[in-house]
Amino acid sequence: MAKSTIYYVCGECGHEELKWSGQCPNCRAWNTMKEMKIERSAARGMSKAAVSSAKAVRASEIPSNVLTRVNFSMPMVEKVLGGGIAQGGLFLFGGDPGVGKSTLLLKIASQVKQKVLYISAEESLEQVKDRAVRIGGNLDNLFFLAESNLDAIVSVIDKEQPILVVVDSIQTVYDPAFPSTAGSLVQVRECTLRLQLLAKQKNISFLIVSHVTKDGNIAGPRMLEHIVDGVFYLEQENEDMRLLRAVKNRFGATTEIAVLQMRSQGIAEVPQPEGIFLVDRVVGVPGAVVTTVAEGSRVILVEIEALVVATVFGYPRRSAVGLHPQRLELILAALERRAKVSLRNFDVFVKATAGFVAREAATDLAVALALVSAQQNKPIPSRWCVFGEVGLLGEIRQPKDASTRKKAAQGLGFNKFVSSKYLSEAIKEVLS
């Protein structure tokens, strides 16, 4: 007989309690404990024979196997994944609705030369086939399955023995052993745990699509991100530009990004993305300056724009889009104290163009010069590329990869760089 258990799960962190409480005792979030009724069959648990046969293995006796990866024809995406899709890995892909998660994973699946199983729990086989034809990938090794029952999915995987499985999406898959609906905290967690076990036992790679919350985080219990081997976000920068970032990766670095572009034939990599965010740049306008942003081993040039307006109300506004708001406050303080540029009676608006997010400290100098340029109504000459961290003492600290940034900027026609060691001197050097 199945045994029924009622307990309460936190929607933020996945913490479980036997009694309801208004505040989660683990993450301290309010009104996140939700009642869950689970019927667990005794067949789900490990048998006594399996428990008694478990034993530890000496580390020196474990064979050292070289990690094998599944490769495809998208070098930048492969680099974000750590050099390809690690076999036996479980990878989670998140992003806003319509950003292109399914399109990206379908293109990856269509470029793998071994057998791939694409599980569509949201769309019909005809819909997925139409998208695959439009993308133009190789369909000979690609198998489709329109199913949301996890037992049926596992059965097909056992029969087909693919090297890669794409699940679109985990919120629409359910395990019949648990009576809760698909997408609930319990279903998302239990289905992911079962797929993880299958990936390690069969040495099959899984790419899982996950929905996101209104805050942009992976939907479901927080522990979901701890279960998987990698978490990747597909972000929309503007109408057709996308960025693929790694938040967690057990098989590679989390500093790399892939710049992608949505086209009528699907999604494609941008081969030379260094200057892609400067396409619509307007030259000769005060308050604009070009800077560099290092994303992993790649340097991307971004324009910083600033607008300075006299304050109408008593308290001046400070707004930063694509930049860290706290860094803006520090830069304003350094300008006033160290460079004698006071903006206390002005509303300040700063943004990185094209929707790019540039939160590294090396953009400090560009923000400072853009603000001074906007206040003095003096445009910065178009050949300047500015980067460097501004300290509270007014000093300018160059990043360790300054030579790499200069080389990338020179390749796009920028040949003037700040050589001053202090903020006040840099303002005179650029705007004199």
pLDDT of residue 35: 78
158's tokens: 């056992």
Dist CA 37 CA 398 (whole Å) = 57
* CB neighbourhood size of 357 (10 A): 16
Give which of 91, 393, 357, 361 is closest to 242, Cα–Cα.
357
pLDDT of residue 47: 56
pLDDT of residue 1: 44
Give which of 284, 283, 288, 311 is closest to 374, Cα–Cα.
288
Question: How many distinct helices (H) and strands (E) make up the chain?
Answer: 11, 20
pLDDT of residue 111: 93
Q: Which CATH class is domain 276-431?
A: alpha beta
With vertex at residue 97, the alpha carbon angle to CA 94 and CA 98, rounded to the nearest 5 degrees, is 110
Give the contacts of 272 (CB within 8 A, at least 6 positions apart).
Answer: none
110-138 burial code (b ≥16 CB/10 A, e <16): bbbeeebbbbbbbbeeeebeebbeebebe
* Domain locations in the chain as residue ranges: 3-41, 69-271, 276-431
Give the contacts of 130 (CB within 8 A, at least 6 positions apart).
Answer: none
CATH number listed for the domain at residues 69-271: 3.40.50.300
Q: What is the mean pLDDT of each run of 10 residues along the chain (432 residues)?
A: 68 78 88 72 52 82 83 93 94 91 94 94 89 86 94 95 94 85 82 94 94 70 83 85 91 88 88 84 93 86 95 90 90 95 95 79 95 96 95 94 94 94 96 88
Classify residue 202 by burial, with Cβ atoms within 10 Å: 0-12, 13-18, 19+: middle
pLDDT of residue 49: 60
